[in-house]
Amino acid sequence: MKAHGHTKGEYLFHADLEKTSTYLADQKKVMAFNPFCEHVEATDIENIYKWHFQVTDPRDNPFQVIFYVQQHDELLVSLPDDYPYESEISLPDEIVQKYTTGKKIRWEPYKMTYNVNDPDNYIFEGKVNAEMTLFEHHENQTTVNFLMDVDITFELYPIFRIFPEKIITTMTNAGMSMIMQISANQMFQSILSDFRSIHR
């Protein structure tokens, strides 16, 4: 069956844009605060990371979810209407620096060439689409808007197969989104605490 979860949040970091974005661009550091993430490791492919998650079904039967994630870091540049350049690609560095209004960190699924799923051992592949949009709020304050969508295709333990799939899917999606929202809030509260200890 397929399950989908969604979470979002807004968080305030007491540091400038550069310090905040440098911290949040470190997947290993950020995901270490997720209560369901066992660990994050770099793969042999440049800029591709493997997330290991341990979760349970409603009867506390465990299964693993593996995510392969590609990260993209973007500058958000807002030029004056009368600026002569048509393409941001050709902008001089000093202009980019002057008109940078924020940054965006995106996580996207990366398709491996082999099958990740191992249903016999309850190991399944997940796909994550997420973004953290950072804007300098005030001097030494940065607002972070966080959005994340997760999709997992997995096999139910036999006890759940007696229920209609539509009912199970609806319940699973709602439960998954609720758990993701709680865990995201916990994760960012821990991140903010760690961040404050570093940038006092």
Structure tokens at 77: 């540049």
* Cβ 188 vs Cβ 35: under 8 Å: no
| 1 pLDDT tier (thresholds 50, 70, 90) | confident
Give start and end residues of each alpha helix (H) in the chain: 17-24, 27-31, 93-99, 165-198
What total of structural domains would you count in the chain?
1
| 88 pLDDT tier (thresholds 50, 70, 90) | low
Lowest mean pLDDT among 105-109, 133-137, 158-162, 196-200: 158-162
pTM: 0.85
116-133 pLDDT, tens per residue? Answer: 988 888 899 999 999 999
Please state the length of the chain.
Answer: 200
* Cβ 11 vs Cβ 195: under 8 Å: no
Please report, as a single letter, which amino acid is at residue 176. Answer: M
Q: Is the pLDDT of residue 12 over 90?
A: yes
What are the backbone dihedrals phi and psi of residue 115, each rounded to the nearest 5 degrees, phi first? -80, 120
User: How confident is the model at residue 160, as a pLDDT?
Assistant: 59
Q: Which of 16, 131, 111 is nearest to 66 (CA)?
A: 111
* Bridge partner residues of 129 (DSSP): 149
Residues in CB range of 120: below 8 A, 6 or more apart: none
35-46 pLDDT, tens per residue? Answer: 999 999 999 999
Residue-range definition of the domain harbouring residue 44 = 2-198
* Cβ 103 vs Cβ 76: under 8 Å: yes
CA distance 24 to 126: 21
CA distance 42 to 27: 10
CATH no. for residue 145? 3.30.530.20
CA distance 132 to 129: 11
